[in-house]
Amino acid sequence: MAEVTRVPLQPIAKGSLTKLWLGVLVAILIGGGLAWATIPRGLTVTELTEGSGPSPAETDVVLVNYVGKLPNGTVFDEGQQIPLPLENMIEGFREGAVQMKKGGKYELYIPSAKGYGAEEKINPQTGEVAIPANSDLVFEVELLEFMSREDYEMRMQMMQQMMQQQMQGAEGAGAPPQ
């Protein structure tokens, strides 16, 4: 009968098992830390449709189509061809808008710290909470046009003058002859 070669098992050195478990624990902690580090915490701008040309400045007025949602998909605001002075917008929207190009469509993920933070936003029409405190925000934005604040104000004044002239003309046309 053939004899099987025997390999004697060496005893584990004192403390080796502890070192092994410590090594496993360190590997788990490092993996968890890397996973935690990859979670987006800042503003995220995702280009859905490419735009072209220059980007607006933080002091410009942008003309946009947009939908504002909570991360669960609840729509809290939307608008078509809305002029928005970037100086008056929340920090995250302003930072995202200056990365856009005319004609492009974008999704902005805005963490609560760059949105409304601990402030709760109430819908003025319903009186209900539209945006809970500490909510992250998601905006789908199409940048139609942008202009300087001065150009915007000049265009608004011209439009007001035209509307006043039209109203005066309509009043004059409806007045009885004397």
DSSP secondary structure of 82-99:
EEEEGGGS-HHHHHHHTT
3-class DSSP state for residue 143?
Answer: strand
Q: Which of 123, 119, 147 is nearest to 132 (CA)?
A: 119
- Measured distance CA(95)–CA(44) in Å, rounded: 10
Q: What is the pTM of this model?
A: 0.69
pLDDT class of 90 with cuts at 50, 70, 90: very high
Report whether 86 contacts 100 (CB < 8 A): no
The count of other CB atoms within 10 Å of the CB of residue 19 is 10
3-class DSSP state for residue 49?
Answer: strand
26 part of a folded domain: no
55 part of a folded domain: yes
Range of the domain at 73: 44-154
Residue 80 has pLDDT above 90, yes or no: yes
93 part of a folded domain: yes
The CATH number that applies at residue 100 is 3.10.50.40
Report whether 138 contacts 107 (CB < 8 A): yes
Give mean pLDDT, residues 102-115: 95
Mean model confidence pLDDT for the chain:
88
34 part of a folded domain: no
19 part of a folded domain: no
- Measured distance CA(54)–CA(56) in Å, rounded: 7
114 part of a folded domain: yes
DSSP state of 135: -
Q: Counting runs of H as helices and runs of E as strands, what totals does the chain give?
A: 3, 7
Cα 18 to Cα 11, 12, 116: the distances in Å are 15, 11, 49
Residue 41 tokens read as 């915490």
pLDDT class of 35 with cuts at 50, 70, 90: confident
pLDDT score recorded for residue 178: 55
Give the count of domains, the chain. Answer: 1
pLDDT class of 141 with cuts at 50, 70, 90: very high
38 part of a folded domain: no
Element (H, E) at 169: helix 149-174
31 part of a folded domain: no
